[in-house]
Amino acid sequence: MRILITAPYNEKGVREIEQLFGEVVYRPWKPHGRAYYEDELIALLEESAAEALITEHDHVTAKVITSFPQLQFIGVCRGTPSNVAVSKATELGIPVFFTPARNAQAVAEMFISTVIMLLRNTIPGINWLKGRNWQEGAHDSYLYFKGGELAGKTIGMVGFGAIGQLIAGMVRNYPCEIRFYDPYVREHDPAYQQCSVEEIFSECDIVSVHLPVTPETTGMINSRLLKKMKKDAIFVNTARAAVVKREDLLEVLETNAIRGAILDVFDHEPPDEVDYRIIDQPHVIATPHIAGATFEVEDHHVEIMNRALKQWFGQGDKKVRELANREILTMQVND
């Protein structure tokens, strides 16, 4: 089988795919400067005569999939296959694999680093120092920028999947008390307390959102919940902007109803005027959607994807044909 890979893939990963399937055509999107659009991807698939595709950000539309119904699988090196017309792939019996845990470590480390930065007033302190404000004999900095410790805080997770659970495992030994809201979690570490979403917002010192965008979660975090937060609480969203009503978040920030916020995602990317009103708040740490942007994430998605493909195709093509008649073929690869 000939595989077209347009996702970033390390040499070891490419060799493993070659050993598993026979031939690889490697055309990563990065040298191209952007994801491949529909017509460009169709041209690449035609040129390579590929029988399967491993992609990251490319536009794998219904037209692309319909043009190549012979594809044996589509691999998506992302947390969700949102760039793929999964329903069309399902209709044609093409399994879709993706890698939701690939950036869990990166996001978890970003959570810890930015929360500590906000608690310790690190950025104002740096700016004060760079502004040449430290005078001889003064202890102003000690008084102005004294902050709090992460230890002893109660952290509430709204959504408790791979990322939320990894953060919980990291911070429990600070120590922190961990609570979570997730109606889909049936079993969990007894050290973590499952709560209502109202309890998370009203009782926790740090509220961190880890939700996918669905009809149920879109706009779920609204004024009713945000106004339940304690005045010294911190709100964190490194997941998806669409789950938060930004006007409501802006209101609690402008009125100093909470201590501050850490945001990595915005309604418009690049941000619009309202987004920048949030970003410019003095008690907000805002980053440009980079919580999951580490060099290691690409190695993680290669490892997860290759392991899934080995497990799947190690059971033979017969299984693919059998499952082709099932309603859902999307394979969620849990790390």
Give catalytic residues, as residue numbers.
240, 269, 289
Beta bridge partners of 154: 177
3-state helix, strand, coil in the chain (%, to 5): 40, 15, 45
For 50, how many CA atoms within 13 A lie in the half-sphere containing its CB?
27
Tokens of 291: 């919580």
Exposed, middle or buried by CB within 10 Å (0-12, 13-18, 19+), for 276? Answer: middle
| Interatomic CA distance for residues 45 and 41, integer angstroms | 6
Closest C-alpha to 35, from 46, 27, 47, 23: 27
Beta bridge partners of 60: 84
Closest C-alpha to 176, from 198, 145, 155, 148: 155
